[in-house]
Amino acid sequence: MTIISGKGGTGKTSIAAAFAGLAKNAVFADCDVDAADLHLILKPKIKETIKFSGLKVAAKDSEKCVDCGECREACRFDAIDENFEVSAIDCEGCGVCIYVCPEDALSLVDRESGYAYISETRFGPLSHAKLNVAEETSGKLVTLVRNNARILAKKNNKDLIIIDGPPGIGCPVISSITGVDLVLIVTEPTKSGIHDLKRILGVAGHFNIPSSVCINKCDINTQQSKSIQKYCQINNIPVVGLVPYDTLFTKAMIKGKTVIEFNDGLISDVIKRMWEKVEGMLV
Amino acid sequence: MALLGTIMDVSLGDKLKIAIASGKGGTGKTTVATNLALSLENAQLLDCDVEEPDSHIFLGMRLEKVENVYIPVPKIDKKKCTFCGKCSEFCQYNAIAVVPNDILFFPELCHGCGGCTLICPEDAISEENRVIGIIERGLNNGLEFYHGLLNIGEPMATPLVKAVKAKAEGKKITIIDSPPGTSCPVIESIKDTDYCILVTEPTPFGLYDLKLAVEVVRKLKVPFGVLINQEGIGDKGVEKYCKEENIPIIMKIPHDKKIAKLYSKGIPFVKKMKDWEDKFIELYEKIKNS
C-alpha cells in the first residue's frame, strides 16, 4: 500500500511511521526521494548503500570542440549555453547533441544522482534513498526503492510493503503507486486539501488503484470535513480515518518517535482503528 | 527622451522575480505567495506547482484557459518503418520498443528530445504535439495570475512549469509559487529568479527538508532567505541552523488559529488582518535592498 496526499504537509509521514509501528509483518519504503523524512522517526541502521545513476549527462571534450554551435541549435532543453558549455542542470541526457556534433566532441557519461539504502529499523526492514539535489529522474529512483523493498519482503518473508509516497501527482507519484493494492490518501479539511484530493483520486482512478481516504486535522474546519466525507461517499471511496488536530504529532516528531510510542492515548486509538480498517482492505 | 528612456529602464529593472519554495510540502508556500502578491501593487503571480496548483483558490478570480501546453513526440509511419531498431537504441528514455515486425511507442516516457526523428534512416518518423496540460489566466484588481494544470495521469511536469514561467513579462513584480521537493520541476521554477524565499515550519521535518532546499538554491546561485511559518509549533532547530549558516530569517508568521481558519476557507489572511499587508510590503522592500 502507498500513502499519498496530493497536497504536501498533510501528515503522510507521521501516519506512515505510526503504521510502521502497528504492522506485524511488513517492510517499509520511503518513496519521497526528494525530501525523505520517514528516517527521522524510524532511525534506520543502514546495512547497504547502492549508488544510483539516473539519466546520463552530456560531457564535452574542449580540445575537440570547434564552437560550431550545432549542438546548441539541436538541443531542446536549452542545455548548451552561449559558450557551448553543457549545463548539467538542464541536460536531460537524450544524446541528440552527440549525434549532431561533427567533431565527435561530445559523449554521454553517468551522473551520480543519489543513493539507495537498505536498512534495519526497530519495526522492520526499510528501503529508502536520497536523491542528490537538483537531479532529474526521481521516478527512476522511486522504482529502485520499490524493487529493493520487494526483495527485502521476499527475503524476510514479509507479506506487506508500506510505502510513504511523495506529494503531487506527477512522475514520482505515479512511480510510487503503479501496481499497488491500495492507496491511502491523507488529506485535510481545507479548500486546498479538497482540491488536491480530487486530483490525486483522479490519478489513482486513472491507474485503476483502489483508494481510501484519511482526513487529518478533521476538526479544524468541520464543514469542509463533512463535504470531503460526502464527496467520498458519492464516489464510493471509504473514509477510513478521521484524525483530530493534535500537537502530539509535532511533539512526537521532535522526540523522533511515532505518535503511538509518544503517547498511547486518544490519537493512538484513532490511528489503531484506521490501521485495522486498512489491514482489512488489504486481506 | 533618451534620458527618460534610461530612467524607465532602471525602474523596470527594479521589479524583482521572486520564487517561493520549500523542500517539504505544506509549509505555507501558497500562503506566502498569495498574501505577498496581494499586498504588492502591480504584481504578477505565477503558480508553477502544476501538479497541485492551489493559489487560485485564494484569489477568487475567474480563470480562463489561454493555451494548451505540448511536448513534441514521434509519429511513426509504419509503412516506411523497416523495424531496424535504430530509434529504440537511441532513445535514452525507453520510449520506443521495436519487436519483430512492429514498433511500439510509450508517449508518457518520451521527453520530446527529437532524437528518433533525427536518427531514422527511412524518414519514417515525424513529430506531432502531445498535450500535457493547460495554462489558465486570471486578472483581479491589478494582480495578473497564471497557472499550469498538469493533466491527470501525466508524469512530465517540467515542460509545463517552463511554459508557465515564460508568462513572466518583467514589467511587474513576479511572484512564483513553486512545487515542493528538490528535483526537476522545482529547479525549473527557481532558476534565473532574483531571490528565493524558502518557507519552512520549525519542526525536525521542516528543518531537514530546509537544508535540502538550501542546497538547491546555493547550487542555482540564487540569493535567498528563510521564512518561518507556524512559529511556535515546534522547536528552535531552524533558527539555530540559520544562525550557524548565516542565513537571514526574513519573516516569521505565528502559529495562529485565526490564520489557520482563514486558510481552511481559502481566504488570504492579509484580507482580514490588514497590518500584515504592510509587513509583506516591508518584506519585499527588504528583499529588494538586500
Residue B280 is assigned to a structural domain of this protein? yes
How many structural domains does chain B have? 2
Whether A19 shows a pLDDT value over 80: the answer reads yes
| Smallest Cα distance from A46 to chain B, Å | 18
Report pLDDT digits (tens) over A110-139.
988 999 999 999 999 999 999 988 777 688
pLDDT at residue number B106: 95
| A 103-162 near B (Cβ less than 8 A) | 108, 131, 133-139
What's the N-to-C CA distance of chain B in angstroms? 31
pLDDT cut 70: percent of chain B above it: 96
Same domain, B179 and B279: yes
The three cell numbers of residue B222 are 540564487
Residue type, A76: R
**Residue A111, helix vs strand vs coil:** coil
Q: Cβ atoms within 10 A of the Cβ of B203, count?
A: 24
Under 8 Å CB pairs connecting chains A and B tally to: 192
Q: Which of A13, A33, A56, A94 is best to mutate for the B interface (most B CBs within 10 A)?
A: A94
Same domain, B210 and B115: no
Same domain, B169 and B214: yes
| Smallest Cα distance from A189 to chain B, Å | 7
pLDDT at residue number A137: 66
Report pLDDT digits (tens) over B159-218.
999 999 999 988 999 999 999 998 889 999 999 999 999 999 999 999 999 999 999 999
Question: Which domain does A104 fall in, by range?
Answer: 55-109
**Residue A184, helix vs strand vs coil:** strand
pLDDT at residue number B13: 55
Same domain, A74 and A196: no
Report pLDDT digits (tens) over A56-93.
999 999 999 999 999 999 999 999 999 999 999 899 99
Same domain, A41 and A174: yes
For residue A236, give the CATH number of its domain. Answer: 3.40.50.300
Q: Which chain B residue is nearest to residue A94, measuring alpha carbons? A: B92
- Across the interface, do B57 and A189 touch by the CB < 8 Å criterion? no
A190 contacts in B (CB within 8 Å)?
263-266
Whether B8 shows a pLDDT value over 80: the answer reads no
Same domain, B261 and B283: yes
C-alpha span between A37 and B92 (Å, rounded) = 31
Same domain, A150 and A75: no
The minimal CB distance from B183 to the residues A138, A195, A247 is found for A138
Question: Which domain does B89 fall in, by range?
Answer: 78-123
A174 contacts in B (CB within 8 Å)?
153, 155
| Smallest Cα distance from A51 to chain B, Å | 18
| ipTM attached to this prediction | 0.94
How many structural domains does chain A have? 2
Whether B3 shows a pLDDT value over 60: the answer reads no
Q: Is A195 on the interface with B (CB under 8 A)?
A: yes
Please give the residue that has the higher pLDDT: either A54 or A42: A42
Same domain, A153 and A202: yes
- Across the interface, do A95 and B57 touch by the CB < 8 Å criterion? no
Same domain, B64 and B176: yes
Average pLDDT over residues A238-267: 96
| A106 touches A58 (CB < 8 A) | yes
Average pLDDT over residues A205-234: 97
Average pLDDT over residues A261-270: 95
pLDDT at residue number B5: 41
pLDDT at residue number A136: 72
Name B268's Cβ contacts closer than 8 Å, sequence gap at least 6.
B31, B34, B35, B38, B58, B59, B262
Average pLDDT over residues B38-50: 96
Same domain, B239 and B101: no
Same domain, A171 and A185: yes
pLDDT cut 90: percent of chain A above it: 94
**Residue A146, helix vs strand vs coil:** helix
Average pLDDT over residues B258-283: 96
Same domain, B188 and B205: yes
| B105 touches B52 (CB < 8 A) | no
Report pLDDT digits (tens) over A152-167.
999 999 999 999 999 9
Which one, of A140, A158, A147, lies nearest residue A118 by Cα? A147
The Cβ-side half-sphere exposure at B114, using a 13 Å CA radius, reads 16
Task: Indicate the pairing of strand A183-187 with strand A2-4.
Answer: parallel
| A127 touches A118 (CB < 8 A) | yes
C-alpha span between B127 and A76 (Å, rounded) = 14
A9 contacts in B (CB within 8 Å)?
24-27, 180, 201
The minimal CB distance from B265 to the residues A40, A221, A254 is found for A221
Same domain, A32 and A44: yes
